[in-house]
Structure formats: structure tokens, C-alpha cells
Amino acid sequence: MESGRLFFNPSTCQGNMLYLGNGESFFRGARTMISMEETSKKRPFFSLQEELYDEEYYDEQSPEKKRRLTPEQVHMLEKSFETENKLEPERKTQLAKKLGLQPRQVAVWFQNRRARWKTKQLERDYDLLKSSYDSLLANYDSIVKENEKLKSEVASLTEKLQAKDATAEPVVSQKVELLPVETVSSTQFNVKVEDRLSTGSAGSAVVDEDAPQLVDSGDSYFPNDEYPGCVCPIDGAQSEEDDGSDDGRSYFSNVFTATEQQHEEPLGWWVWS
């Protein structure tokens, strides 16, 4: 036990503590022990408002036992907690008087109530994060599938084109002169020409591993609005990240912001730490 604070132990000296100042400190000494004999048959804590309790029930209880607060007391404490979850000394004494409790009990109740609220809040935050994660995962999966689909499309079109080139007149050499040779490698050139020659799909070589430059360049062959199936999920995911990175916070900061907005209780005091 720390020297600065003396605690009232209801199992040993209930109803016999000396209430000092704001009710946080209790004295347990010789005098307390003497008076304990006189009052050991009384109920702990509840001597100020006897009418709140079922006399018979409580009189039958052993005085050493811990007693629960009555529904009325809990109700009033809950109402007070909703108003303000922190307890300034004046409010604490008022509540204690009103409820027939020791100020220390009121303080303890608020402390425990804050702890319960925090636990619930952590559960809510966890659920929110989990659902966000699940939806991101679903998004990712759909993007991967779309990617695979596009790759196979590119492969089949390339195959068709090569078969067609094998039987056609060699006209490609004429087009080469029209292209900016210094900016296009031979590999890129081949893919580009093939794409432009193809008539089936307007855009398919986007994810060709042999020609990543085409994808990365600002001048994409494939404007976003032509490939909603592929681009939109990415846009959606990135917009989340962008929002989060604006102020240097992670994606999850948004979640917590949303969580805070969802609070049913007026608890602006809660600070995520």
C-alpha cells in the first residue's frame, strides 16, 4: 500500500472510516478499529439512505460481504456518466450524498465504468477494422482476377497476331520509320505495333510483363474510363490511402474517425492512445 493514500477496506472496517476532505482519503487506525465493534452489524456503505434498500435482504447479509449498488443508484450513476464521464470533486460529493454512498464509491464506480466503456470501444474499433480489412481483401482479390483475365487476353491476341503476321505481307518495316525510334525500344515497338494492328480489343497489353514501360508511362494506351472493371477498384483503394496520407496518418485513422462519429454516447473525452 502506498504511503500517500489510505484505503478503506469494506471487508474489515466497513462503515467506520473517517471521511476526510474530498472523500478520497480514509483513515484506518485505532479509533476506527474501536468503533468497528459498535457498528459491525450495520450494512457497509449504505447507512445514509436506508430507504433505498430492502432492509430484510441486507440485514441478513454478512457485513463483510461486498454489496452491489441498487438499480436506482446504478441508474443515476449511469445518467451522470452520460453527462460527463469525469468526476470533479464537487459533483462527486453531491452524487454521493444523493445516493447515500461514500464519495470513494462514486469515484470507484466512475473509474470502473470508464474501463468498461473503453473495453466496449476497443471491441467496436476491432469490428470496424476487421470489416475494412475484409472489404479491402475482396477488392484486392477482384483486381488480381481481372489482372489474370487481361493477361490471358493479351496472350491469346498476341498468338493470333503472330499467326496473322506469318501469312501477311511484310508491311511493318514501312511503319517503323514513322515512329520515334529514340524513345521506343525494339521490344516496346513490337508490342505497340502489334497492339495497334490488332482489331479485337482496344486495350490489352497493359500488364504485359515484357513491356512494363507502356503501363508506367503517363501516356497510357488505356484511359481509365475504358477499363472500369480494372481501374475502379484500385481507384477506390487509393482514394482511401490518399485521404489517409493527406495529414500523414495511416489508413486506419479514417476508421477511427468514423468510429468516433458513430459513438452513441456523448463521449468526446475519449482519446485513442
Partner DNA sequence: TTGTGTTTTATTGCCTCC
Partner DNA sequence: GGAGGCAATAAAACACAA
* Shortest Cβ 120–DNA spacing (Å): 10
Q: Determine the 3-state secondary structure of 27 from DSSP.
A: strand
Please report, in angstroms and rounded to a whole number, the separation of the first and last CA atoms in the chain.
28
Nearer residue to DNA within complex by CB, 116 or 249: 116
Binding interface with DNA (CB under 7 A): 1-5, 7-11, 21-22, 24-25, 44-45, 61-62, 65-69, 74, 86-87, 89, 104-105, 107-112, 114-116, 118
Residue 8 beta carbon to DNA: minimum distance, rounded to whole angstroms: 5
Name the residue nearer to DNA (CB basis): 119 or 185.
Answer: 119
**For residues 12 and 152, which CB has a smaller minimum distance to DNA in the complex?**
12
Q: Which amino acid is at 153?
A: E
> 108 is written with which cell numbers?
470507484
Nearer to DNA, 1 or 178 (CB): 1
**Contacts with 142 (C-beta within 8 Å, 6 or more apart), sequence order:** 233
Distance in angstroms (rounded) separating the CA atoms of residues 21 and 27? 11
In whole angstroms, the minimum distance from the beta carbon of 70 to DNA comes to 8
CB 65 to DNA: min, Å: 3
Closest to DNA by CB, 115 vs 155, is 115
Minimum gap (Å) between residue 50 Cβ and DNA: 16
Place of cell 490488332: 198
